[in-house]
Chain A
Amino acid sequence: MLFHLVLFFAKIWAFFYDRLKKHESDFIGLVCYKLCPDFLERMAKPRIKILITGTNGKTSTTHLVANMLRNAGLKTEYSYWGSNLMAGHIKTMLDCVTITNKCKVDACVLECDEMMMATSLPAFKADYVLITNICRDSIRRNAYPDYIYGKMDRGVAKYLDTTLILHANDPISSGLGKDNKKVFIGAEKIYDHSAYAGFSNEFRTCPVCNSEIEYDFRHYRHVGHFRCPECGFTNHEAKYMWEGIEGDNLVLNGDKYHIISDDIFNLYNEIMIIGLFRELGFEPAKIDELLKGVQIPKSREGFDSYKGIDIYRKCGKGQNGTAPSIIFESIMKNKNKKELVLIMDAEIGRGAQATMTWLYDNDFELLNDDSVQKIIITGDNTLDYKLRLLLAGIPEEKLVVCEDYKEAHRYLTLDDSDIYLIVDIDYSAWGIEVAENTMKRLDKEK
């Protein structure tokens, strides 16, 4: 009775909130949860229930999966605003049911905070849980990978009817779910070179015998083909294997699929999505068609070519121990002259109060390259970034300290160098603002 009363109230509330253009507010979800703690569990569920979790890539992957399902003709709801806790789950599911708790959609895709699996999964009863990866995160969030792994492993054990879609090349997340059904998706070597062997390797010792792990190749961080020389611990065998790249397509189990983004991190998310859709029963040709109809969310990356200057926006999870390294590695594949603007602080004008552990987890050494002409550092912690870049061997004359990101465009040379704006993912609008200011300056000067 209580559940139905709360649902009735919540649907009316949501109706009026939508009229006020506040659809993305999770407040009503929180109210439902507080009044009826098993609210999500009691909600009528759609035929297809997918939960997407992991340290990095959850939001992009959720967006892509949901939009592919929609393009396939399935009525689908998802937390497009990035909400990934219980309140957001309930808010999303409120769009899936009628006021009398009848399900009115075919599918629901929830993004789930990796630490919340133990509560979210049994309540949502997902058919599939896609886990992008496990790696270190900010000191203020989730601590170290073993801790995250433990929390997630206990979470997936609470609902054994789900099938885990796991990343065979990630030695950490691929160990999850001893008693769950599992499907592994992996990758061959693909590239001639291996990832930069810097700090951002989460998996250096064998979990069985503590010997140092050897890699045949690494695509990024600790993700690759690994083995323990002492006890033989190695990758799980993959049901779906990414075998190579042919032109604009990737080849997986002999079938070709359109590439959405050529960043290795996004490519891995894509093969996980392909594996999920194969398990959902979609044929390769249909998946290829669906991939052609979606894009990485604009808030995650962007590109403008304006008056002869290429401006790239790259967003990474803020204060994360490895996300910037992946962005740096991606940027440095472009050998053109370039100028960088770092917009990585979460606040401006408060003072130097951000945690700085992540600065020394990431490989700023990658930016010590002749192609990097200038690095403009913004935010309250500019002096910390400057010190980090100096320790990485970057000459001081290349560094410009400009605390206010709104002024950063003034320091760009605007010659033939490419411009890269590297932005905390929660503040992607700031990157867009710098790009727009740069284009306005180009209008005046070129």
Chain B
Amino acid sequence: MKTIEVLYSEFGNMYGEVYNAMFLEKSSDEIKLIYTKFNDVPYFMNNDVDMVYISYIRDPKIYTVLEKLRTYKDRIKELIEKDVIFLLTGNSLEMFGQYIEEDGVKTEALGLFDYYVEKDFDVKYASWVRGYFEDIEIIAHRNQFSKCFNIKQPFIRVENGSGSDMETNVEGIRYKNFYATYLLGPFLIMNPLFAKYLLGLMGIEEMRFEKSAMEAYDKRMEYFHRKDARFIMDFYG
């Protein structure tokens, strides 16, 4: 049995993100999910896990969760170095960099990576993003009030849309089996090839619903390869 720990989903119950872990669970009988609430000690502190998932966290709560994670920093670092899979979607990656700057105030983050984040709630970045992780083509939603700079280990090479800093084509962070991206929503469901890649890292070859997920993925890609594809989210998109 492979164990996926889902951290603090009660703060991130948005944009269908909770379903990412459920999708993996529904994809294989070998997956077991453990949901850890804010006031619980993470399962990974005293047990081995195969994957840790943190979804989007509502912005006002990100500092609360950051303070909680600070107490587990050494164990998190140890797990990352031991090649345990970490998947962070939405703004949750902000907690793992150097600092978060908002209204001129810098809050020290976990410092596990070199990047840093600037937040401005007057500007929302909402768009589709298409790009590549290795040879896997990725399509996903972006919806954020932040920019992330100084990424030295990029996760996705952006082809359409912009990267984490809105200027370059670099999106997210990948280090060993740590995958973090601002892209959010049902990220794994919309990217079945990447979901299958993660399952493969856990030694699982079969993925239930693969056929239907790939049909939806192919149809979406067909649209986003068109010359008139709209990446900016407008009234219809």
Bound: A358/B17 CA distance, A: 10
Closest to A399 in B: B212
> With A139-B126, A355-B233 given, is the CB distance from A147 to B59 under 8 Å?
yes
CB of A354 within 8 A of chain B? yes
CB of B237 within 8 A of chain A? yes
Main secondary structure of the interface of A (DSSP, over half): loop
Q: Are A140 and B190 in contact (CB under 8 A)?
A: no
List which B15-42 residues lie within 8 A (CB) of chain A.
15-19, 22-23, 26, 37-39
Q: Are A391 and B14 in contact (CB under 8 A)?
A: no
Q: Are B222 and A347 in contact (CB under 8 A)?
A: no
CB of A369 within 8 A of chain B? no
Q: How far is the CB of A307 from chain B (nearest CB, A)?
A: 36
Q: Are B124 and A387 in contact (CB under 8 A)?
A: no
Q: Are B59 and A355 in contact (CB under 8 A)?
A: no
Segment of A197-205, A280-288, A434-442 in the binding face: A197-205
Segment of B73-81, B104-112, B181-189 in the binding face: B181-189
Closest to A138 in B: B233
CB of A247 within 8 A of chain B? no
Task: Indicate the member of B13, B17, B60 with the most A CB atoms within 10 Å.
Answer: B13
CB of A210 within 8 A of chain B? yes
Segment of B94-102, B160-168, B199-207, B224-232 in the binding face: B224-232
Bound: A353/B127 CA distance, A: 11
**Chain A residues near B216 (CB-CB < 8 A):** 352, 381, 383-384, 386-387
**Chain B residues near A381 (CB-CB < 8 A):** 216
CB of A73 within 8 A of chain B? no
Q: Are B220 and A352 in contact (CB under 8 A)?
A: yes
Q: Are B223 and A347 in contact (CB under 8 A)?
A: no
Q: Are A352 and B223 in contact (CB under 8 A)?
A: yes
> With A212-B37, A352-B220 given, is the CB distance from A357 to B189 under 8 Å?
no
Q: Are A140 and B126 in contact (CB under 8 A)?
A: yes
Bound: A259/B143 CA distance, A: 40
Bound: A146/B56 CA distance, A: 13
Q: Are B223 and A139 in contact (CB under 8 A)?
A: no
Bound: A275/B166 CA distance, A: 47
Bound: A290/B33 CA distance, A: 53
Contact partner of B215 among A136, A357, A383, A391, CB < 8 A?
A: A383
Q: How far is the CB of B56 from chain A (nearest CB, A)?
A: 8
Bound: A356/B185 CA distance, A: 8
Contact partner of A143 among B23, B39, B124, B190, CB < 8 A?
A: B124
Q: Are A199 and B13 in contact (CB under 8 A)?
A: yes
Q: How many residues of A contact B (CB 8 A)?
A: 39
Q: Are B212 and A386 in contact (CB under 8 A)?
A: yes
> With A146-B60, A205-B10 given, is the CB distance from A353 to B213 under 8 Å?
no
Bound: A211/B10 CA distance, A: 10
Closest to B127 in A: A140
Bound: A140/B128 CA distance, A: 10
Q: How far is the CB of B191 from chain A (nearest CB, A)?
A: 12
Bound: A321/B226 CA distance, A: 28
> With A352-B223, A387-B213 given, is the CB distance from A360 to B16 under 8 Å?
yes
CB of A390 within 8 A of chain B? yes
> With A205-B11, A386-B216 given, is the CB distance from A210 to B38 under 8 Å?
yes
Bound: A346/B26 CA distance, A: 29
Q: Are B23 and A391 in contact (CB under 8 A)?
A: yes
CB of B209 within 8 A of chain A? yes
Bound: A375/B181 CA distance, A: 35
> With A139-B15, A146-B59, A204-B10 given, is the CB distance from A355 to B185 under 8 Å?
yes
Q: Are A212 and B236 in contact (CB under 8 A)?
A: no
**Chain A residues near B37 (CB-CB < 8 A):** 212
Q: Are A357 and B213 in contact (CB under 8 A)?
A: no
Q: How far is the CB of A346 from chain B (nearest CB, A)?
A: 5
Q: Are A352 and B222 in contact (CB under 8 A)?
A: yes
CB of B64 within 8 A of chain A? yes
Q: Are A391 and B16 in contact (CB under 8 A)?
A: no
**Chain A residues near B186 (CB-CB < 8 A):** 356-357, 359-360
> With A347-B236, A360-B19 given, is the CB distance from A210 to B39 under 8 Å?
yes
Q: Are A391 and B209 in contact (CB under 8 A)?
A: yes
List which A107-162 residues lie within 8 A (CB) of chain B.
136, 139-140, 143-147, 150
Bound: A145/B11 CA distance, A: 12
**Chain A residues near B212 (CB-CB < 8 A):** 383, 386-387, 390
Q: Are B224 and A353 in contact (CB under 8 A)?
A: yes
> With A212-B10, A351-B223, A351-B226 given, is the CB distance from A144 to B58 under 8 Å?
yes
> With A205-B11, A210-B39, A360-B186 given, is the CB distance from A354 to B16 under 8 Å?
no
Q: Are B209 and A140 in contact (CB under 8 A)?
A: no
**Chain B residues near A211 (CB-CB < 8 A):** 38-39
CB of B135 within 8 A of chain A? no
**Chain A residues near B143 (CB-CB < 8 A):** 139, 143
Bound: A205/B60 CA distance, A: 12
Contact partner of B185 among A346, A357, A386, CB < 8 A?
A: A357
Closest to A145 in B: B58
Q: Are A140 and B234 in contact (CB under 8 A)?
A: yes
Q: Are B222 and A351 in contact (CB under 8 A)?
A: yes
Bound: A359/B17 CA distance, A: 11
CB of A361 within 8 A of chain B? yes
Closest to A211 in B: B39
Bound: A136/B230 CA distance, A: 24
- Which 4 pairs across A and B sit closest by C-beta, in order of nearness? A360-B16, A351-B223, A140-B233, A357-B185
Q: A199-B13, A387-B189 are in contact. List 19 more A-B contacts (CB 8 A).
A: A140-B237, A145-B58, A199-B18, A204-B10, A204-B13, A211-B38, A352-B216, A352-B220, A354-B236, A355-B237, A356-B186, A357-B184, A359-B186, A360-B17, A360-B18, A361-B16, A384-B216, A387-B212, A391-B26
Provide 24 A-B residue pairs closer than 8 Å at the C-beta atoms, listed in order of the A residue: A136-B14, A139-B126, A145-B58, A146-B58, A199-B18, A205-B10, A210-B61, A212-B38, A351-B223, A353-B220, A355-B237, A356-B185, A357-B184, A357-B186, A359-B186, A360-B18, A360-B185, A383-B212, A383-B215, A384-B216, A384-B220, A387-B212, A390-B209, A391-B26
Which residues on A are within 8 Å of B, measured CB to CB?
Answer: 136, 139-140, 143-147, 150, 199, 201-202, 204-205, 210-212, 321, 346-347, 350-361, 381, 383-384, 386-387, 390-391
